[in-house]
Structure 1
Amino acid sequence: MEELASSVDELWEDQESSSQSSFDTYLLGFVIANIVGLQYYRGKISGREMVGLVREPLNPYDGNALKVLNTRTLQVGHIERSVAAVLSPLIDSHLIVVEGIVPNSRSASNRYKIPCQIHIFARLEAFNSVKSAISRGGLELISHSDVSFTLSEAAVVKGNRAGGESQSLDKVFKLVEKNVSKKAAMEPIEPPNEVIISQLLLHQKEGLGWLLHKENSNELPLFWEEKGGEFVNVLTNYQTDKRPEPLRGGIFADDMGLGKTLTLLSLIAFDKFGSFVPNSGDAGIEEIVEEDVKKGKRGRGASKKGTRPLKKRNTKEAEFGSKAKGKSVSVADGCVSFSGRRTTLVVCPPSVFSSWITQLEEHTSPGKLKVYMYYGGERTKEVEELKKYDIILTTYSTLATEESWFDSPMKKIEWWRVILDEAHVIKNANAQQSKAVTNLKATCRWVVTGTPIQNGSSDLFSLMAFLRFEPFSIKSYWRSLVQRPLAQGNKNGLSRLQVLMASISLRRIKGNNLVGLPPKTLQTCYVELSVEERELYDQIEGKAKNVIEEFIANDSLVRNYSTVLGMLLRLRQICTSLALLPLDLRALFPSSNVEDVSNNPELLKKMVVMLQDGEDFDCPICISLPVDVVITRCAHIFCRSCILKTLQRTKPCCPLCRQPLSQSDLFSAPPKSSEADHTEISSRNPTSSKVSALLSLLRESRDQKPATKSVVFSQFRTMLLLLEKPLTDAGFKILRLDGSMNAKKRAQVIEEFQVPGLDGPTVLLASLKASGAGINLTAASRVYLIEPWWNPAVEEQAMDRVHRIGQKEDVKIVRLIARNSIEERVLELQERKKKLATEAFGRKGPKHRKEVTIDDLRTLMSL
């Protein structure tokens, strides 16, 4: 279950990345401590300011170190040792989260230390134990009952007073919102016709204008004012005499299938052949404030300039094969030499490489843009060689691998522009690939994704960190200003999130009929389980309810999450086909006692096999499909590299249950299925209520129009194998596309699926995640989802491989849902997630509930 994996992941993260429990934490009180070591760091504090407190467990001088950052992410110093020694173990145990504020009353006479209020947040049930630990440590906790609590500078306290802090903060957000709406109009810009040979649609030209304006604007970043020669961040009160750099970039979040790649290629083309004059009349916050005082209006200033309109021209198709890996990839013969120094780095999943290359072939003039694929074993290490190209294509995993390399050319180059395509893959800010892209040096930074919010607002923090959108790129600021108010139902949290997204993102949806796509209809087909399926389902669900209720009552849900995941998975498999279940189901399920399996390696390995077949299981550390899977003695599953890195810590323990752990407590998963296994799976009887319903729907579609192509999505690779025989026996020509295939094999399958008419394949059996990004399946017009996904964004990505620019026919999508089952309740969770994603981009929304809670699990199990 992706939500559970995500929340578990956040439980192990360092203070820098916070924890899921922080959503439910409340202010316990504050302690006063000194920030020391000021003379050793560049960061400055000049007045009353919020500061970031970040755990530094690998500090060579103090394992309890708490470093202090200012708004500009510069280190100011450390919290004094005596206080850090008490608070850091509580932070590491995820009992508390801390936020720091330097009060107005600090003395300027001492240059070596600054007093700081450290506000301590904890869950209500942990209040007493945290108070005891702080008292034993010799610290004075100032809580609500103390007279001096009124001195607290925390926004959560001042917001409860008349004219308090949160009210003034929201005035600032309202001013920013006014400023954003003032600049909302987008002027369409024509791309340079020396490079771009295709005619852009109106929304793409407007998007190009927005991208160019963001990159060329010289206005102050949001929340900054100029006062008497000083620059002040009005959210944190940080002051500096150096003008902050503009935020050159943002989130390009157009709906999937609206042609974002072509718009980005047009942006890159401007680096060599275009000219753009940004508006000179853009107002900062301080100018809006002046307007409020003077009741006047500003002019819009100079208009943007674009090149002349384009004419459609033919282009010669270039060849791209496996030999292109690590070599120069010219869009055609006779590449011209690169005349400028503005190189763009595009980071994407391997499956998206082919999309970028195809778009270059179709939409750019031969030889105008030089492209290099920085991928595979033959890639160059020469910085000067890479600078000769206009576009460098690489993958997230390549950058993650090179993050530890001292001589990686990716880290040495000062990129003009970095584009993160399918950027939602960095939703876990603590993952190695997220850190690798965030650490890149670049003038312009772009996040490109049709689904910036997949699980909840916490997904956005890693994007803020990559964009270096201060102060939200520091976790403690993000948590206090946006995440906590949002999670605890404060209406200001949602409005703040909306203002932020409106200020740095552009999102248009297909529902606005921007591109004239044929209609898409979504139909839910409810399937009644057979007598045998219903009997087993009810039996297993009854046992699962008892086990999960026990976990909830004992507060051991997170510790036993692999067991919970397995139970939910089995219920979903019963809804799809009994053939997915192992013969020794009862030996595996359910086990309410983790210790039962801790000394049984064979049973542990079977648990891995059980979870591996479904694509909805992510490694809780990197939040990606596990690679080289291992299971721990405490029955938790990780990528081998992820858990080994975690075990390098001073006190190695399981990131999930915190039990001591060593390498000898790790067990490898069995090797993946062989061809013999494939044959064995295919020979099973896949008859099920859903398979019968699917065959009926496919035959009906074929009878209406024999050449209609369909895509059947499932998250279970075994299910795709099981469907091959009955579909072939029914006369359908089929292809399969799943996560076990490399990028080259996937490209071959997709190309073969495009063959038109009755001679070509008519059904593609596709893995949901393997087909969710960078793949064009517009040859099909029918989509069948065998089971619902936990995350609606993944489903939508898969649907939009079919419903996108290039689709000529009406698209029909059918979801097969087992009636009176966990699948119906998954749909309820999907609607909640969609609501948050929609509200984040909206102007107004109702009071928001907490994001992912135990109540969600109760909903799934009808508890």
Structure 2
Amino acid sequence: MSLDRSVLASVDGDQSSSSSSSSSIDSETYMVGFIVANIVGLQYYSGRISGREMVGLVREPLNRFDPNAIKVVNTHTIQVGHIEKKVSSVLAPLIDSNLVHVEGIVPKTPANTVRYKIPCHIHVFANIDAFETVKSAFLQNGLCLLSENNPLFSTSESVVVKEKKKSDLDEIFKLVDQNLSQNSVNGEIEPPKDFILPDLFVHQKQGLYWLYHRENSNELPPFWVENDAGFLNVLTNYQTDKRPDPLCGGIFADDMGLGKTLTLLSLIALDKCKVSTDGKCEVVEVENEQSVTRSRKRSRKGSKKQNTEELTGRASPKMTLVVCPPSVFSTWITQLTEHTKRGRLKAYLYYGERTQDVSELEKYDIVLTTYSTLGSEFKSSKDPIKKIDWWRVILDEAHIIKNHKAKQSSAVNKLNARNRWVVTGTPIQNGSMDLFSLMAFLRFQPFSTKSYWDSLVQRPIAQGNANGLSRLQALMATFSLRRTKEKALTGLPPKTIHICHVELSVEERQLYDEMETEAKSFVAKYIAKGSVTHNYSTVLSIILRLRQICTHTELVPSDIRSSLLSYNFEDASNNPVLLKKLVLLLQDSEDLDCPICLSPPSKMIITSCAHIFCENCIIRAIKSSISACPLCRHRLTESDLFSPPPEYTPEVDKSTCKPSSKATALLKLLEASRTENPSIKSVVFSQFRKLLLLLEEPLKEAGFKTLRLDGAMNAKRRASVIEEFGVSGAGGPTVLLASLKASGMGINLTGASRVYLLEPWWNPAVEEQAMDRVHRIGQKEAVKVVKMIANDSIDERILLLQEKKQKLAKEAFCKKGKDEKREIDLADLRTLMSL
């Protein structure tokens, strides 16, 4: 759920190190002052600094010599040394508790500098409310923090650089922006017919040209120039005599449904070809073996040898690793089996029971695995994936790693690869911070170091500075490709989105107004006390109930007030029964993510402070140097963690259930479509499993044959439902009742041409993923999407939040932007609750 990260985790300015990557820098963060500290231990590291250069400051809580360690890296992310202990011992606890953010710059090094020390100006930023706490921490430890009222404050390199370099920096980005044509798609490549069966669309051939040239360009990376002394990074002032490696790869961000997978398979096929300047391919290697081989254990040595020779042939010199969610496996396998010649590209599924033999994997062109598989092997020394120098790594649905501190993000970042690709139709889901984890994987220096990203991009955007957005736009233009369906000219039928405004019934309106009035008083109280984060789960629960009333009153219990508003969840450590009730309440919705890994909770755990996490995520967090809740900083031990009741199955009495206003409106729309064309198929999306069950009976009575697709089904059952729904002809199913998350990735629903969204989601990208299961290549009919919105309700206010997120995502890939705030903040929560 994006609100729990973007709103609730930030409005109090109290974010954890575990989840800070998912939230933007607070828009009211300012420089408290700066301290002059030494970078020590230079003799132990190979990183070098040339003088007046930005440096990255990275916390090392697991450093075995010093748990307060802060390492210093240069623009190449090569370690230079550490901040001296007397300073790091004060800074580290402040950083870990998210009271401060720090940035470093080395002033011009004087000639008499001690050999193994370099002075560094560390600039400390914090929320205004935390200024006195931060200053006191330095004062109590005898350190001089030079704040604005100190005459020496003007010597801050931060001020000098802003005054002296601002115009140069902005001019650099302006020049990049003016030369976007250098990175535009200005050619086409035909994939080799000996490998790829179908003819590609023009936009796919152009995309293939761009992908191929990104991998084979020897140009300097963006913001590097060659001078008499060697090579200079004009952003950070880093000078080196070694030519920087080209950035091989980038972000492939075409709209969902434009055939990115087939384009990428064509790129892999080019590994076996010579490509001429006119875009023609000459095949230099042809093999005739099986195209897809599932991972399996071969117990007998003799048969293992025989099968290896039979299935794999000789090892390919260029191997591609594809990392994706399990639901997307079927897409890659389908594309391989249906769109490539049998035996030309060999693939291995590194999933479930799998080989640990590197030499076995080296016999395949493509290895498919999942983010969770890599995460589970993160610390394993036997993991063969980490031992291979991959020719190419492709992260499909890469927005999954938007939290750069999650285990699976760390796992993919450590992969060795010459070419690194991020593939996602939704690179920005919640805010610009989502892009940092992609930078970390791409190793685009200096932006792959968080302190550089914060100072050059994130902080200006969060503070509404137009320069931050323009820099982000120029940055994206250098190594990303994004085409929308409207511009790709695929011949795809149009998609139109309509808002169906629904008036609540008298009974629904009365319940909603009573609930909202009481909810406002609770949320207003939390805002006034500055305790929204501490009451995170309560606020989520309140908002959830308001949304449910807008959709169907049967979704909420009859004793709604006693089940929610009379409880105080702030500290329920002595009431595990209450905690389990809260979990049951939140399980009513799919719209819930673990704040650490940003994925639906796996083995859900609720803490004594009423926050919900994955079991592995929260145990790892409290075993770190500070044993505290990542959201509210409440002290935690493993005894403060509670398991929920068994998986929740909603009870539905279909015989006595009266249709809601939205259900009635939906039925009228479906009947109108049937009158227009009896063969029209429709997909009805909701995040509430119980609602899908409630809709089955009235639809059946109205003569509709329905199928249901939800997250409680296993993969085999889901595949069966999708296949049955795709069958055309009289008497077949015409309405699919689908949960959003079960239908968001890796499935094809082009048999339908009508989409109904029964409630708005916080994250518009999730809605886009769902509707683009229908509106994609293969669709023959115009697609009509209808959003059901309850008038004068929280539904309308969620739409406003969606518009903000969509605007940022769109502008990141455009040339111009406006000077305004980009991130969700406390004002948005007030808007949401109509306060």
TM-score (norm 2): 0.94
Per the alignment, residue 124 of structure 1 pairs with 128
Per the alignment, residue 208 of structure 1 pairs with 208
* DSSP 3-state at the match of 1:347: strand
Kept in 1: contact 2:347–2:364 (CA 8 A): yes
Residues 634-665 of structure 1 deviation map (CA, whole Å, 9 limit, x = unaligned): 11111111111112123311111111111111
Alignment of 1:577-616 (within 5 A): 577-591=552-566, 593-595=568-570, 597-616=572-591
Per the alignment, residue 573 of structure 1 pairs with 548
Match of 2:529 among 530, 541, 554: 554
RMSD of aligned alpha carbons? 2.3
**Offset of residue 15 of structure 1:** 10
Per the alignment, residue 79 of structure 1 pairs with 83
CA distance in 2, matches of 1:832, 1:627: 30
- Establish whether residue 439 from structure 1 lines up as the match of residue 428 from structure 2: no
- Establish whether residue 307 from structure 1 lines up as the match of residue 306 from structure 2: no
CA distance in 1, matches of 2:310, 2:737: 40
Match of 2:323 among 341, 347, 366: 347
Alignment of 1:96-115 (within 5 A): 96-107=100-111, 109-115=113-119
Q: Structure 2: which amino acid aligns with 1:366?
A: R
Matched residues, percent identical? Answer: 61
Per the alignment, residue 189 of structure 2 pairs with 189
Per the alignment, residue 357 of structure 2 pairs with 382
Over 3 Å counting, the alpha-carbon distance change for 1:626 and 1:708 in structure 2 is same
CA distance in 2, matches of 1:15, 1:694: 39
CA distance in 2, matches of 1:633, 1:319: 51
Q: Structure 1: which amino acid aligns with 2:216?
A: N
Per the alignment, residue 276 of structure 1 pairs with 275
CA distance in 2, matches of 1:580, 1:109: 69
**Offset of residue 483 of structure 1:** 0.5
Match of 1:500 among 466, 471, 475: 475
**Offset of residue 241 of structure 1:** 2.0
Over 3 Å counting, the alpha-carbon distance change for 1:831 and 1:20 in structure 2 is closer
Per the alignment, residue 842 of structure 1 pairs with 814
Per the alignment, residue 784 of structure 1 pairs with 756
Per the alignment, residue 253 of structure 1 pairs with 253
**Offset of residue 588 of structure 1:** 2.5
Over 3 Å counting, the alpha-carbon distance change for 1:460 and 1:443 in structure 2 is same
Q: Structure 1: which amino acid aligns with 2:172?
A: V
* DSSP 3-state at the match of 1:445: strand
CA distance in 2, matches of 1:18, 1:357: 32
Kept in 2: contact 1:588–1:603 (CA 8 A): no
**Offset of residue 44 of structure 1:** 1.4
**Offset of residue 22 of structure 1:** 4.3
Kept in 2: contact 1:325–1:374 (CA 8 A): no
* DSSP 3-state at the match of 1:770: helix
Residues 509-563 of structure 1 deviation map (CA, whole Å, 9 limit, x = unaligned): 0112510111211111111111111111111111111111111111111111111
* DSSP 3-state at the match of 1:59: coil
**Offset of residue 838 of structure 1:** 0.8
Residues 98-146 of structure 1 deviation map (CA, whole Å, 9 limit, x = unaligned): 1010001444542211000000111122222222222222111222232
Residues 323-349 of structure 1 deviation map (CA, whole Å, 9 limit, x = unaligned): 767799xxxx98672553111111111
* DSSP 3-state at the match of 2:544: helix
Over 3 Å counting, the alpha-carbon distance change for 1:493 and 1:622 in structure 2 is same
Residues 256-312 of structure 1 deviation map (CA, whole Å, 9 limit, x = unaligned): 11111110010000111x2236xxxxxxxxxxxxxxxxxxxxxxxxx4532389xxx
Q: Structure 2: which amino acid aligns with 1:769?
A: K
**Offset of residue 7 of structure 1:** 5.7
Q: Structure 1: which amino acid aligns with 2:601?
A: P
Q: Structure 2: which amino acid aligns with 1:174?
A: K
CA distance in 1, matches of 2:81, 2:489: 52
* DSSP 3-state at the match of 1:693: helix
**Offset of residue 406 of structure 1:** 1.2
Q: Structure 2: which amino acid aligns with 1:166?
A: K
* DSSP 3-state at the match of 1:417: strand
Per the alignment, residue 2 of structure 1 pairs with 2
- Establish whether residue 799 from structure 1 lines up as the match of residue 799 from structure 2: no
- Establish whether residue 767 from structure 1 lines up as the match of residue 730 from structure 2: no
Over 3 Å counting, the alpha-carbon distance change for 1:556 and 1:326 in structure 2 is farther
TM-score (norm 1): 0.91
Structure 1 gaps of 5+ residues are 278-302, 310-315
Over 3 Å counting, the alpha-carbon distance change for 1:761 and 1:266 in structure 2 is same
Kept in 1: contact 2:588–2:689 (CA 8 A): yes
Per the alignment, residue 170 of structure 1 pairs with 170
* DSSP 3-state at the match of 1:685: coil
Q: Structure 1: which amino acid aligns with 2:348?
A: Y
Match of 2:31 among 12, 27, 34: 27
Q: Structure 1: which amino acid aligns with 2:492?
A: L
Q: Structure 1: which amino acid aligns with 2:665?
A: A
Match of 2:464 among 489, 510, 527: 489
Per the alignment, residue 635 of structure 1 pairs with 610
**Offset of residue 226 of structure 1:** 1.9
Kept in 1: contact 2:185–2:207 (CA 8 A): no
Over 3 Å counting, the alpha-carbon distance change for 1:493 and 1:304 in structure 2 is farther
Q: Structure 1: which amino acid aligns with 2:463?
A: Q
**Offset of residue 747 of structure 1:** 1.4
Per the alignment, residue 669 of structure 1 pairs with 644
Residues 716-748 of structure 1 deviation map (CA, whole Å, 9 limit, x = unaligned): 111112212222222211111111222222211
CA distance in 2, matches of 1:652, 1:153: 36
**Offset of residue 683 of structure 1:** 5.5
Over 3 Å counting, the alpha-carbon distance change for 1:326 and 1:581 in structure 2 is farther
Kept in 1: contact 2:72–2:80 (CA 8 A): yes
Q: Structure 2: which amino acid aligns with 1:633?
A: S
Alignment of 1:503-514 (within 5 A): 503-512=478-487, 514=489
Over 3 Å counting, the alpha-carbon distance change for 1:334 and 1:762 in structure 2 is farther
CA distance in 2, matches of 1:250, 1:648: 35
* DSSP 3-state at the match of 1:97: strand
Greater relative contact order (Cα < 8 A, sep 6+):
2
Kept in 1: contact 2:248–2:419 (CA 8 A): yes
Structure 2 gaps of 5+ residues are 299-303
Per the alignment, residue 290 of structure 1 pairs with none
- Establish whether residue 825 from structure 1 lines up as the match of residue 797 from structure 2: yes
Q: Structure 2: which amino acid aligns with 1:653?
A: A
- Establish whether residue 405 from structure 1 lines up as the match of residue 380 from structure 2: yes
Aligned length in residues? 818
Per the alignment, residue 368 of structure 1 pairs with 344
Kept in 2: contact 1:709–1:763 (CA 8 A): yes
CA distance in 2, matches of 1:828, 1:621: 26
CA distance in 1, matches of 2:451, 2:375: 25
